Structure 1
Amino acid sequence: MKHPALCLFRSVLTAAFALGLAAQLTSCSSPQQRQHTKITVIANSGSKQSQEHHLAEALATAESCLQRGIDTPEQLARYNQAVEHAVLLWLAGSEQDLHQQRLNVDSREGKPYQVQASWPAKLRFDRLIPSWTVKRGSLRKNIHRQGAGAPFVAQWEFTPKRSENEPFMSSKGYFASVTATLDFQASESERTIARLVIHNANITPDVRLGGNKHTLNFDQSALAEHLLAYDNEFSALGALLRPHKYLDQIDLQTISPPDPDRLPVIFTHGLASEPRTWQNVYNELRSDPVLRERCQIYFFRYPSGVPVLYSAAQLRTKLAELQQTLNQKQTNRYSKQMMLVGHSMGGLITKTQVQDSGDTMWLNFIDYTQNRVRLNDQQLAALQQYLIFKPNPHISRVLFIATPHRGSELADWWITRQFRKLIKGPGIILRTPLMALDQDNTDQHAQSAIDKLFHSGIPTSMENLSPKSKFVKDTINLPLKKDLRIHSIIGNLKGLDLNDPECSDGVVPYTSAHLQQPDSELVVPYGHSAHEHPMAIEEIRRLILLHLKELK
């Protein structure tokens, strides 16, 4: 047993070290950090005259930089910092929610300016977050193109009113990578025109400033770091153990308004996971300019403790809503040729979108055909949404990553069975449609089967993953959509021969993840998180580009 005095001494020492380190970091903060803090304070709490004075100073600095040239790293850094400060002060001096596109700025000593601001018509934003202020460290790669301009993460914040017209907006809103530049020109009046342009950094590679062409600064990873780490309301573990408490958070999210001119690619996470699992995939895919311009990534979020068929029905509904939304604007080939990517259990949810259930799943649950269970149309529809499904005609390519098509014996381990008992909620979720059965008109044998189902318990998602489960045995044999392009990425943790029964990603055996005659199969030397391996990300990129090429 540790001595209490020793424990107290260590606690005090640790606290003292932390305080000293914090003080040291504060004193050693970079000039850029200290200057940014100063500008932020002025922008947030300074008087209008003070803000205007400092905005004039920032504009004068940026103009001076362009006149002298921004060819060296030092010159470029000084110009970019002046642009960043000017943008923050311009936002503070503009009308909230409007951002004045023309703003007269007078200085105490220097010359006056008129800021003329512009940005792409499709760009919506309430906030501009300087990229360098975004907390880093969760991504494998930092994707940043050095150049002229101040990079920002633009955010159009969520409001209930906005969400009525934007069903795929996350609870934090929409985001975009943008870069601001300043250029100047004389005018007939005494005011110098300061052209403040906020560029869509995804598609603008370069810009003309001071009459010269420059590469546009672009910080892609700031958006990826900020985006998925920003979702702190959804607990992957909580949604596994208490899924009924997260049903209102089931959604299909994207970072910008759905664009009918871009290919929808839908990513679905697996068990005890969340959209954040795709963070590196998202970051590195968007380093490709073709993908940034021509495809739009969506994330399906769901509580992973519910039965797979429940989550599959929710995704089916969300995809139908997406199809309707895209075609409200115009009919296009992309919305009718969607691509789905599923990891682990997310692959099983994905697979049900392109399968024909027939009456197999119905008999799996109810044991008796639909005509033996007398239901009205409303009751029948309540059950059919989970148990009867057809292939989505608007999906033409699927990618399964580490997907247990034949289950995983890990789901039957003793420790896993004990953990399964902690999952609460599936019965609550499915009881309503099942109890909608009219017991007076229901066949006695069918009612007995339903009572037995309740007595034994609604299966959880983890039970669905057992090789012994009816779900796994049935879905492996359900027919897939005709002319569907099918691909697999499979992990091989120990580098074993694929014919070795022990070949596995540590969770899913190769024999379970392997499909007969897929269009392609890639085996990566990695564990169950195979989607994060560089080879896997490159394969995802290759397949999306291939899909785009075939749609021409």
Structure 2
Amino acid sequence: MAASDARLLPAASIIAERCTRKYLEGMGRLPTRSDTTPVEAGGVNLIVSTQRLSLNLADVVKLHVAEGPVQRATSAQWGVPVVLIGDRCVGEERCQLFPPEGIFRGATAWIEKHSQDQGLVRLVVAGDAQSHVRLGGLTVPLRTDFDAAYSRGVRTSKLHRLGVWGLIGGREVGRRAGMYLLDDYDPTKRPLVMIHGLGSSPLIWEKLSNAVWSDATLRQNYQIWHVVYQTDAPLLVQRRRVQQYLDAAWKILDPEGDDPARSHIVLVGHSLGGVIARMLCVDSGPSLWHAAFSAPLDSLEADASERALMEEIFYFHRYPGVKRAVFIASPHRGSPSATRWFGRVARALVGKRNDEVATLLKVARRNEAAIQPELKEAYLKGRINSISTLQASQPVSAAGQRLVPASDIRFHTIAGSKSPDVASDGVVPVSSAELAGAQSTLVVRSGHNVHESPEAIAEVIRILVEDSSSD
């Protein structure tokens, strides 16, 4: 590799890759800090040298050779892509921003020989923030697989099942609710906040997340954050919760409130998640309150904590720092599924027992005369949840549909159409997914899982490339 003839590099690179893989076969665990003390791996003693690994990884992690396709260039690349898996830290606030399954990070490994290592092989492991290595007189790109770490995390997660149970009142997903960072926080990168839909989980974003990481420009400009939330509560409650998750993350990551990342947030939401994203882009004014109650808030019989909660639910401003949003298959004008027979069955099953709704119902029952007539039965009998608030005719929902993103927030819509004759993805009509004033509107041939279609993913990537070049 020290030869000055670059024509030898491809062949040498292939030999080195095969050799490194042989050594890695015996490495079940890896120390993450460089040490001159030899480590035994598969009967062979190695010196481990680490470069630019995540500081959030534990001192010892599991090592897996990446199983996905390796990104190969026409010129030689160096090393073997690997995934490092460590337990989530404990005892510090930042630990809550990482998934309970653990911390998954990509890296590249290769072997070297150094005279000072007393004849032992040196295994070098570099974090995926490092893109090149110096070999002799040449600078060579490292082999990388940016999909591998998250894909392995997806396979270990129980969130798919928990998301469904959370819709009908299961509590486990609620205990895990919050904002999760998929990589180490970077104060200069734009947060790309992804919000899943009804009865779902962040695992739906695997294809889109990997598409972002696979683009060098986007990888340099964005950090991906995933929201986990229990989807059984009404829309306005969900909006408040997601705002709280964002606030909690910023309090930990940027308590001073001056990081560049904070001033340019991009939201991407699917289905109900897209409606929540839109509600994070708007100023409510008094319209939502007037749709629910005929009397001023301060005139109601309620204690201070109840009144404060009601104000947070019904009165709010656009979330600071949001500059762009992408709404995918989102029922901005409601969904017919919420009123059909299976919608009625679902409304009966969907969980209703949460603190915010309990408070709303207590206040409503104490102030029955102040409830708008159209909502009196629902509020007095507790018939409000995530599905009931997606009914286009529901008064608060109808008022929310008229709220549009602030004028300085650029937004885009992507809708699905199952066939040329059906202007719907089977759940959300195209007419409900589209919004006047959008920077772009795309309709793709798809069912409700529009977020996984190649056309939709390509459109989001296009939007992000455009966004990355903006101020």
Q: Same fold (TM over 0.5)?
A: yes
CA distance in structure 2 between the partners assigned to 1:345 and 1:444 by the alignment = 30
Q: Residue 62 of structure 2 aligns with which residue?
A: 128
Please, which of 154, 178, 183 is the counterpart of residue 228 of structure 1? 154
CA distance in structure 2 between the partners assigned to 1:213 and 1:518 by the alignment = 45
CA distance in structure 2 between the partners assigned to 1:105 and 1:221 by the alignment = 28
CA distance in structure 1 between the partners assigned to 2:364 and 2:132 by the alignment = 67
The one-letter amino acid paired with 1:183 is: E
Q: Residue 503 of structure 1 aligns with which residue?
A: 423
CA distance in structure 2 between the partners assigned to 1:115 and 1:472 by the alignment = 62
Q: Residue 11 of structure 2 aligns with which residue?
A: 71
Distance 1:114 1:178, change over 3 A: closer
TM alignment of 1:373-412, pairs within 5 A: 373-412=300-339
The one-letter amino acid paired with 1:446 is: A
The one-letter amino acid paired with 1:223 is: A
Structure 1 stretch displaced more, 337-346 or 122-131: 122-131
Please, which of 88, 106, 130 is the counterpart of residue 177 of structure 1? 106
Asked which structure has the greater RCO (Cα within 8 Å, sep 6+), the reply is: 2
TM-score normalised by structure 2 residue count: 0.86
CA distance in structure 2 between the partners assigned to 1:384 and 1:330 by the alignment = 24
Alignment partner of 1:446 is 2:370: yes
Please, which of 71, 85, 99 is the counterpart of residue 155 of structure 1? 85
Q: Residue 38 of structure 1 aligns with which residue?
A: none
Q: Residue 327 of structure 1 aligns with which residue?
A: 254
Alignment partner of 1:489 is 2:414: yes
Please, which of 355, 362, 365 is the counterpart of residue 429 of structure 1? 355
TM alignment of 1:126-525, pairs within 5 A: 126=58, 127-132=61-66, 142=69, 144-145=71-72, 147-162=77-92, 164-187=93-116, 191-192=118-119, 194-201=121-128, 203-209=129-135, 214-233=140-159, 235-244=162-171, 246-328=173-255, 331-424=258-351, 426-434=352-360, 437=363, 445-446=369-370, 452-496=377-421, 502-525=422-445
CA distance in structure 1 between the partners assigned to 2:400 and 2:10 by the alignment = 61
Distance 1:369 1:460, change over 3 A: same
Q: Residue 30 of structure 1 aligns with which residue?
A: none
Cα distance, 1:480 vs. partner?
2.7
Distance 1:143 1:477, change over 3 A: farther
Please, which of 521, 529, 536 is the counterpart of residue 449 of structure 2? 529
Alignment partner of 1:547 is 2:467: yes
SS of corresponding position for 1:71:
helix
Q: Deviations over 1:419-475 (max 9, x none)?
A: 321223x24433543366599xx6672389898554332412111122222233111
Contact 2:285 2:316 in 1 (8 A): yes
CA distance in structure 1 between the partners assigned to 2:257 and 2:238 by the alignment = 29
Q: Deviations over 1:54-85 (max 9, x none)?
A: xxxxxxxxxxxxxx987168624432213414
Cα distance, 1:145 vs. partner?
3.6
Cα distance, 1:246 vs. partner?
3.4
CA distance in structure 1 between the partners assigned to 2:367 and 2:194 by the alignment = 41
CA distance in structure 2 between the partners assigned to 1:265 and 1:287 by the alignment = 15
The one-letter amino acid paired with 1:81 is: R
Please, which of 11, 25, 35 is the counterpart of residue 101 of structure 1? 35
Contact 2:56 2:184 in 1 (8 A): no
Structure 1 stretch displaced more, 234-243 or 342-351: 234-243
Contact 1:69 1:75 in 2 (8 A): no
The one-letter amino acid paired with 1:228 is: V
The one-letter amino acid paired with 1:460 is: N
SS of corresponding position for 1:102:
strand
Structure 1 stretch displaced more, 115-124 or 315-324: 115-124
Q: Residue 47 of structure 1 aligns with which residue?
A: none
Cα distance, 1:116 vs. partner?
5.3
Q: Deviations over 1:115-167 (max 9, x none)?
A: 251221644323133134x6x7xxxxx564474323221223124324x2333
TM-score normalised by structure 1 residue count: 0.74
CA distance in structure 1 between the partners assigned to 2:25 and 2:350 by the alignment = 51
Higher Rg: 1
The number of residues matched between the two structures is: 456
CA distance in structure 2 between the partners assigned to 1:87 and 1:360 by the alignment = 61
Q: Residue 538 of structure 1 aligns with which residue?
A: 458
CA distance in structure 2 between the partners assigned to 1:220 and 1:433 by the alignment = 45
CA distance in structure 2 between the partners assigned to 1:451 and 1:362 by the alignment = 14
Distance 1:309 1:243, change over 3 A: farther
The one-letter amino acid paired with 2:369 is: H
Distance 1:510 1:437, change over 3 A: closer
Distance 1:330 1:466, change over 3 A: closer
The one-letter amino acid paired with 1:157 is: D
Larger helix fraction of residues = 1
Q: Deviations over 1:317-355 (max 9, x none)?
A: 111223333433772333111000111111111111111
Distance 1:273 1:114, change over 3 A: closer
RMSD: 3.2
Cα distance, 1:396 vs. partner?
1.0
Contact 2:239 2:279 in 1 (8 A): yes
The one-letter amino acid paired with 2:91 is: K
Q: Deviations over 1:13-72 (max 9, x none)?
A: xxxxxxxxxxxxxxxxxxxxxxxxxxxxxxxxxxxxxxxxxxxxxxxxxxxxxxx98716
The one-letter amino acid paired with 1:102 is: T
The one-letter amino acid paired with 1:227 is: G
CA distance in structure 2 between the partners assigned to 1:337 and 1:173 by the alignment = 28
Q: Residue 64 of structure 1 aligns with which residue?
A: none
CA distance in structure 1 between the partners assigned to 2:349 and 2:15 by the alignment = 60
Distance 1:87 1:418, change over 3 A: closer
Contact 1:150 1:217 in 2 (8 A): yes
Cα distance, 1:549 vs. partner?
1.0
Q: Deviations over 1:342-377 (max 9, x none)?
A: 111111111111111222222334442213214443
CA distance in structure 2 between the partners assigned to 1:343 and 1:200 by the alignment = 31
Alignment partner of 1:80 is 2:25: no
SS of corresponding position for 2:104:
strand
Cα distance, 1:230 vs. partner?
2.3
The one-letter amino acid paired with 2:90 is: P
